[in-house]
Amino acid sequence: MRLEKCWFCSSTIYPGHGIAFVRNDATVFRFCRSKCHKNFKMKRNPRKVRWTKAYRKLAGKELAEDATFELERRRNRPEKYDREVVTKTVKAMQRIEQIRVRRQERFYEKRMQNAKAQQKAADKAQLEKEIHLIKAPAGIRKEKEKLRVAAEERMQE
Amino acid sequence: MIPKGAFLKVVDNSGAKLAQVIGSYGHIGQFAGIGNVVKVAIKEAKGDKVPAGTMKKAVIVETKYPTHRKNGSHFQYMRNSCVLLSDKGTPVGNRIRSLLSYEFFKPRWKRLSVLGKRMF
């Protein structure tokens, strides 16, 4: 049993799911669900459709090139069955999955590093501009009065 | 899902181009699918090997309607096509312009499968 990748969104296609389309030039396109199949029929380019992995990797939103992807590359030479090789491969798959997840999380954190500071600055600006949406004008006037009095006292000293 | 009267593109090099289904062999029912043998009438042909107007047997190799495999997968092609067979069941041409599916891996279609390059 082979788990294929959807041509459009790059998600895994599990057995019993999706449709395979064979074009007249003998290229096979596999789709995980009708959403991807319909987008393909609409002739949309997955590299421009924002929710696909192809777009995200191209736009630098996700880890694109990494050593952890090497294990998943398709090999066309069948290996002779060896039980030790199989157990080692299974263990390696699990370990590599852990490493890959960790690397992807770190990539995301790095990408979002400045997001928190930016968000805070934006919030502060909004607060100063649109305080009238939260506080009543009388309350704002009173606060301004208080600040003015405090500033005058400081100037007198 | 090929009913009687459907037009099929002929994808071997027998000379015929278009064939129309006029009957089926065996218990197929209303619609024929990939791997079913049907009786066809040649509508368009190039050359003399199989002239237009003759009746021949053909096996359906591609359908637009999704074919269901027992492992749960479905696959479909861009067109409906067939390969002409002689009365005995052996292919008439010696080259096939189509990607055959694993339905033709059976010993019954040994002669047919070797004409193609690989199987899907």
Structural domain count of chain B: 1
Q: pLDDT tens, A1-27?
A: 789 999 999 999 999 999 999 999 999
The ipTM, to two decimals, is 0.89
**Which residues neighbour B9 within 8 Å (Cβ) at sequence distance 6 or greater?**
B17, B18, B19, B79, B80, B81, B82
Chain B nearest CA to A30, separation (Å): 9
The CATH number linked to B46 is: 2.40.150.20
Task: Select from A16, A20, A26 the Cβ nearest to the Cβ of B75.
Answer: A20
Domain containing B91 equals: 2-119
Strands A12-13 and A19-22 come out as unpaired
Give the pLDDT score at B86: 95
Stretch A101-129: mean pLDDT:
92
Give the confidence band of B19 by pLDDT, cuts at 50, 70, 90: very high
Residue A85 tokens, joined = 């090789």
Q: What are phi and psi of A145, to 5 degrees?
A: -60, -45
> pTM of the entire structure?
0.80
Among A22, A57, A51, A58, residue whose Cα is nearest residue A36: A51
Residue B51 tokens, joined = 């002239």
Residue B111 tokens, joined = 């002669």
Residue A64 tokens, joined = 């694109």
Stretch A47-55: mean pLDDT:
96
Q: Is B95 in contact with B24 (CB distance < 8 Å)? A: no
Instruction: Report all structural domains of chain A as residue ranges with CATH numbers, in order of start.
Output: 1-62 (2.30.170.20), 65-156 (no CATH)
Query: What residues of chain B lie within 8 A of the CB of A22, using their CB?
Result: 62, 75-78, 99, 101, 120
Count each helix (H run) and each strand (E run) in chain B, helices first. 1, 7
CB interface of A with B, residues 86-145, below 8 Å: none
In whole angstroms, what is the distance from residue A11 CA to residue B55 CA?
Answer: 47
Other Cβ atoms closer than 10 A to B76: 15
Q: Angle at the Cα of B72 (from A44 to B103), degrees rounded to 5?
A: 95
